[in-house]
């Protein structure tokens, strides 16, 4: 069966990092017999410029028909003014696509790369050996809650509203994803909420605890308040294995935790839906970094988040865990050989381009394949 992949390079540095991810996919096709059929389409500002919307119905249909979607990045100052209000354009194409495919479990692995121990702003002894995954709820919470919008008040001032809302099934399915993942790792889950302040937090904690007792008592569960989690991630990140949290806290905590890996440019992600009857899940793979308009088009972006997202696709959508590890080792080898894009270069050291980093990964794959 040929795997159908929809590629949406998007905006800013998206097309540059996706070009390197595609070279890596091409390598697996040419050298490892991977069978994949690739379609490309527009997303975000690129789509708005052409079609007047961040996500067209046709692109949605292509995404639904694909086995997986690989995204670069979306957005930029050129389109920021379109985002206010309560119509569909107030939500980015990316956010609409996540909801459309119902990819509720967003896996954001954070690893301390040995080669980058001096490049992280955190002390080498604090980050050594860190290997954790943030499982962020991706299709609910304040990103989607209604009512939302900005309204005029009689006195001429305005009122902005967002709604944080979660239901039992929404909490349960993402918690299940986290417990299942923990079973393949060190069997520890930290569930993160603000149960001391928010009703959604109280519900979150109760539902996670109930599921834990009912089905996952072999996994150690700890409840952590979100503000404390932010501190613990910096103070002692090795204590974490799997962190499960809501959409907004997951957004914040994953950017913060990225500094463990040295740069947001290093982080991949997988967003997975519920398994269907044949065990297949809708999936979006995307680097966590945004569109970085300040460096777009300069061949300076770090492509490793996108490349590592391909590794996650090999593992989670294609069931090719060994191939995923081959690619992850190639990334480590490229770093160990000293290649650094600007975001991960120590001051005064030399910097390579996006494409040269891609060359380094391909060379490392070649070397590994030769054994």
How many residues sit in the footprint of Mg ion (CB under 5 A)?
Answer: 1
Could you confirm whether 152 is annotated as catalytic? no
Give least dist CB 291 to ligand IPM, A: 8
Does the annotation mark 241 as catalytic?
no
What tokens were used for 136? 């962020």
Residue (28 or 249) nearer to ligand IPM, CB: 249
Q: Closest separation between CB of residue 109 and Mg ion, Å?
A: 15
The footprint of Mg ion on residues 244-273 (CB under 5 A) is 251
255 counts as catalytic: yes
**Ordered DSSP codes for 269-317:** -EEE----TTS---EEE--SS---TTTTTTT-S--HHHHHHHHHHHHHT
Give the closest residue to 179 by CA, choosing from 141, 213, 226, 138.
213
Structure tokens at 92: 């980015």
Q: What are phi and psi of 275, to 5 degrees?
A: -65, 135
Quickly count: other Cβ atoms within 10 Å of residue 228's Cβ: 12
User: Nearest approach, Cβ of 221 to ligand IPM (angstroms)?
Assistant: 25
Residues 246-275 that bind ligand IPM (CB under 6 A): 251
Residue in 67, 193, 194, 282 annotated catalytic: 194
Among 290, 303, 358, 360, which residue interacts with ligand IPM (rule: CB under 6 A)?
Answer: 290
**Span of 44-52, 88-96, 157-165, 221-229 interacting with ligand IPM by CB under 6 A:** 88-96
Contact status: 11 vs ligand IPM (CB under 6 A): no
The reply on whether position 92 binds ligand IPM by CB under 6 A is yes
95 binds, among Mg ion, ligand IPM, none (CB under 5 to 8 A by kind): ligand IPM
Other beta carbons within 10 Å of 96: 19
CA 134/CA 118 separation, integer angstroms: 23
- Distance, CA of 264 to CA of 302 (rounded, Å): 9
Q: Catalytic residues, which ones?
A: 143, 194, 227, 251, 255
């Amino acid at each position: 069966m040929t795997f159908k992949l929809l590629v949406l390079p998007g905006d800013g540095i998206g097309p540059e990092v996706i070009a390197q991810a595609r070279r890596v996919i091409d390598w697996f096709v040419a050298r490892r017999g991977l069978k994949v059929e690739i379609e490309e389409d527009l997303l975000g500002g690129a789509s708005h410029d052409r079609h007047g919307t961040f996500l067209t119905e046709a692109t949605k249909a292509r995404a639904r028909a694909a086995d997986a979607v690989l995204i670069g990045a979306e957005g930029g100052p050129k389109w920021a003014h379109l985002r206010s209000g309560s119509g569909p354009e107030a939500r980015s194409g990316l956010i609409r696509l996540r909801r459309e495919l119902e990819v509720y479990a967003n896996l954001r692995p954070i690893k301390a790369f040995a080669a980058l121990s001096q490049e992280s702003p955190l002390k080498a002894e604090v980050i050594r050996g860190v290997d954790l995954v943030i499982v962020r709820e991706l299709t609910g919470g304040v990103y989607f809650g209604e009512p939302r919008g900005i309204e005029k008040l009689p006195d001429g001032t305005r009122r902005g509203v967002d709604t944080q809302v979660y239901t039992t099934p929404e909490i349960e399915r993402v918690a299940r994803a986290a417990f299942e993942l923990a079973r393949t790792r060190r069997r520890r889950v930290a569930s993160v909420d603000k149960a001391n302040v928010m009703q959604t937090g109280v519900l979150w904690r109760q539902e996670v605890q109930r599921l834990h007792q009912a089905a996952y008592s072999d996994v150690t569960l700890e409840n952590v308040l979100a503000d404390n989690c932010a501190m613990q991630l910096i103070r002692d990140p090795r204590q974490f294995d799997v962190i499960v949290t809501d959409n907004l806290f997951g957004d914040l905590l994953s950017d913060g935790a990225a500094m463990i890996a040295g740069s947001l440019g290093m982080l991949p992600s997988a967003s997975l839906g519920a398994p269907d009857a044949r065990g297949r899940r809708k999936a979006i793979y995307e680097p966590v970094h945004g569109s970085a308009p300040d460096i777009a088009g300069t061949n300076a972006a770090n492509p490793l988040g996108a490349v590592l997202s391909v590794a996650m696709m090999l593992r989670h959508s294609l069931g090719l865990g060994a191939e995923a590890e081959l690619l992850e080792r190639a990334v480590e080898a490229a770093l160990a050989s000293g290649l650094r894009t600007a975001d991960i270069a120590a001051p005064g050291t030399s910097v390579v381009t996006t494409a040269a980093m891609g060359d380094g990964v391909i060379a490392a794959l070649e070397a590994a394949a030769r054994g």
